Amino acid sequence: MKMNRMLSKGILALAALLFSAPLVGAEVPASDMIDIPGGEYSIGDTYCWDRQSGSDWCADETPHKVKLDAYSIDKYEATNEQYYECVVESKCRPNDLHESRPKDFSYMKQPAVFVRWKDAADFCHWRSARLPTETEWEVAAQADDLGGAHFGLNYNSGSPQFVGSLKANSLGLHDMLGNVYEWVADWYGPYQTQSVADNPKGSAEGKEKVARGGSWNSARHFIRASDRVSRFPDFSYSDVGFRCAHSRP
């Protein structure tokens, strides 16, 4: 009897290890990218004034026009498996894997979280890419059909889904809204709206970086292409991951 208990404990421990290990499981989707054409785009939204009486948290979304050169952006949020490859090559800092929660954060097809801003930038650099600018991110998130979004769970019971589990937006991008927030290149600051900026790169300096798209534990009003939040770049969070982009000729 005692032996059986020990054996089943051992099996449970092994199962826990296997299911939490980032290298075990099904294949991750290919890290293909979607091409976004250059041109003039509108970003921002009047939602704050239409629906939220211009509240502080959303008053940073002033609608304005921008010009962008052509770029490509990842179809999926970067996964634990992809990030781990970079760690193995000593090009990325190991992130903190969660191994003690009922719903884990360490499955290989889940988006990599607990990555600081620089970790995300290092990963993209390792892939000969870069983080998208805030504007590039928003243009990619705008779509006639926004696709599915995983959001609105309590911290104690929720976690990110495997990337690509839900329908893509009409540009072919998955999980732009929800699942995990995504670090982008820019420092957080007010939009420059006086003139049509060419490939805007955000504030020259700041204390916090921008994260976009809302996450598994966000309320619905954060699940919008135009929502902007700021996070400290030296911190890592359970709900902030990233995806990469690169410029095209």
Pick the stretch among 8-16, 59-67, 80-88, 189-197 that binds Ca ion (CB under 5 A). 59-67
Nearest alpha-carbon partner for 186 in 198, 171, 204: 204
Residue 179 or 238 having the CB closest to Ca ion = 179
Pick the stretch among 41-49, 65-73, 84-92, 211-219 that binds Ca ion (CB under 5 A). 211-219
Residue 202 or 213 having the CB closest to Ca ion = 213
Distance of CA 85 to the CA centre of its chain: 18
Residue 72 or 161 having the CB closest to Ca ion = 161
Task: Determine the Cα–Cα distance for residues 188 and 12; give it in Å rounded to an integer.
Answer: 45
Asked if 60 is part of the footprint of Ca ion (rule: CB under 5 A), the reply reads yes
Measured in residues, the chain has a length of 249
Asked if 228 is part of the footprint of Ca ion (rule: CB under 5 A), the reply reads yes
Distance of CA 57 to the CA centre of its chain: 20
Pick the stretch among 6-14, 146-154, 194-202, 227-235 that binds Ca ion (CB under 5 A). 227-235
Residue 47 or 126 having the CB closest to Ca ion = 47
Residue 135 or 179 having the CB closest to Ca ion = 179
Which residues, including other chains, have CB under 8 Å from residue 229's CB and lie 6 or more apart? 181, 210, 211, 212, 222
To Ca ion, the closest distance from the beta carbon of 27 in angstroms equals 21
To Ca ion, the closest distance from the beta carbon of 2 in angstroms equals 48
To Ca ion, the closest distance from the beta carbon of 182 in angstroms equals 5
To Ca ion, the closest distance from the beta carbon of 147 in angstroms equals 10
Residue 67 or 187 having the CB closest to Ca ion = 187
b/e sequence 217-239, b meaning 16+ C-beta within 10 Å: bbeeebbbbbbbbbbebeebbbb
To Ca ion, the closest distance from the beta carbon of 9 in angstroms equals 37
Asked if 213 is part of the footprint of Ca ion (rule: CB under 5 A), the reply reads yes
Which residues, including other chains, have CB under 8 Å from residue 8's CB and lie 6 or more apart? none
Nearest alpha-carbon partner for 25 in 99, 81, 97, 104: 81
Near Ca ion in 163-182, by CB under 5 A = 175, 179
Pick the stretch among 15-23, 149-157, 190-198, 220-228 that binds Ca ion (CB under 5 A). 220-228
Provide the Cα torsion 100, 106, 111, 114; round to 10°. Answer: 60
Q: Are residues 109 and 81 in contact, defined by beta-carbon separation less than 8 angstroms? A: yes
Q: Where are the beta strands (DSSP E) in 52-141?
A: 64-68, 71-74
Residues near Ca ion (CB under 5 A):
60, 175, 179, 213, 228
